[in-house]
Structure 1
């Protein structure tokens, strides 16, 4: 149970960090149909470079996904794989995920151009953006096109994480069904684990609804050159609700956190 709590806490901490970087700490303001924007958060105020902020933000988002994989992997290991070959492989597997999470955005970071010429080209194509540019907070151009190395490194990371989630989710479901047929675990234990897996699946819906779908809309806007700053801002506002929604859902779904929350506020 302690292992489960630690993995849940890890998931929540990365979710919180992602929301902090998207709001008060980083607060990126991106312009529709361009790969450019300005940071408005605390990190900019203390002099942290925009490129570094982008890298940290994408890395934190990656670790949100990795922490979700770890939730499923931990449940699978504790229930069904403690005495199998997986106990030797899981630690290199975790090291691989962590290393990939740190490194996958580095090609994009190092491919970010020097700003003078890209800014001039941006203002030629989108002169309306000049009003948002200032010496104190200049518009930062992440790219004028889509370099294939950064794009493919991000796609590969996304595909690997999705495959890992599907694999461990499927393994959990299949092994639970097998345990029912063989009566390897008690009905109470099985029901507890089913409830846990169900709650994790619901928690995955939060990133899907509040991050993936709005991000997909932003990607469609960029791909089809849809200039609608209002809907872009709405999508980013929805993304910023990810933290509070995932926290409320975790307190509601996970009994240990719900009990502790009630204890703090003296709820019966």
Structure 2
């Protein structure tokens, strides 16, 4: 039970940080189909640097995805893999996921372009964005217009989290259905286990 509590607490803390940072501190207003955005949260009057806003929010967002994966992985481990090689493999699996999430944001921060050049390009292509720009709260450009690899990196990261996040529930569902057919457990016990693993 303690193991389940820690994974649920981890998910709760991560999702709370994402919620608070997106809705209160940052409040990003994304401009069209560009990588430009306008922060509208309290982070601007507080003078929090934009790189800090991006790094904290982005890292928390990705780690929340990994926390969801960890929640389902923990259910899989406790029910089906506690006495297998996965007991040790899961440490590497989760460690790599958390590390990749942090390194991805570090890569994003290093790719932030010179704002003067990037803003000049954005305003040339989208002159209507000047209406949102002000010296007190200038539009921020997260990725240079000629950095075509950022979209690819973002897609790969999203696919990794989605595949893992969907993989464990599918495996759990398959194994829970097999339990009902192959074990001596009563149907009530199987139903209870399914509820515990989020499958009614």
- Counterpart position of 1:124: 124
The list of structure 1 runs, each at least 4 consecutive aligned residues, that deviate by more than 4 angstroms after superposition, is none
Question: 1:52/1:184 Cα in 2 relative to 1: closer, same or farther (>3 Å)?
Answer: farther
**Per-residue CA distance 1:237-267 (angstroms, 9 max, x = gap):** xxxxxxxxxxxxxxxxxxxxxxxxxxxxxxx
- Counterpart position of 1:136: 136
Mind listing any 5+ residue stretches in structure 2 that lack a counterpart? Answer: none
CA contact (8 A) 1:123 1:130 kept: yes
Structure 1 segment 73-88 matched on structure 2, within 5 A: 73-88=73-88
Q: Using the TM superposition, give the Cα deviation of residue 121 of structure 1 relative to its aligned residue in structure 2, in angstroms.
A: 2.1
Question: 1:154/1:125 Cα in 2 relative to 1: closer, same or farther (>3 Å)?
Answer: closer
Q: Using the TM superposition, give the Cα deviation of residue 92 of structure 1 relative to its aligned residue in structure 2, in angstroms.
A: 1.0
**Per-residue CA distance 1:145-170 (angstroms, 9 max, x = gap):** 26243333222221222221232122
CA contact (8 A) 1:105 1:150 kept: no
Cα separation, 1, equivalents of 2:140 and 2:96: 32
Mind listing any 5+ residue stretches in structure 1 that lack a counterpart? Answer: 202-268
Structure 1 segment 3-18 matched on structure 2, within 5 A: 3-18=3-18
- Counterpart position of 1:37: 37
Question: 1:151/1:106 Cα in 2 relative to 1: closer, same or farther (>3 Å)?
Answer: farther
CA contact (8 A) 1:105 1:154 kept: no
> Tell me, what secondary structure is at the counterpart of 1:181?
helix
Q: Which deviates further from its counterpart, 154-163 or 184-193?
A: 184-193
> Tell me, what secondary structure is at the counterpart of 2:44?
helix
Question: 1:163/1:131 Cα in 2 relative to 1: closer, same or farther (>3 Å)?
Answer: closer
Structure 1 segment 42-191 matched on structure 2, within 5 A: 42-145=42-145, 147-183=147-183, 185-191=185-191
Say how many residue pairs are matched: 200
Query: TM-score by structure 2 length?
Result: 0.89
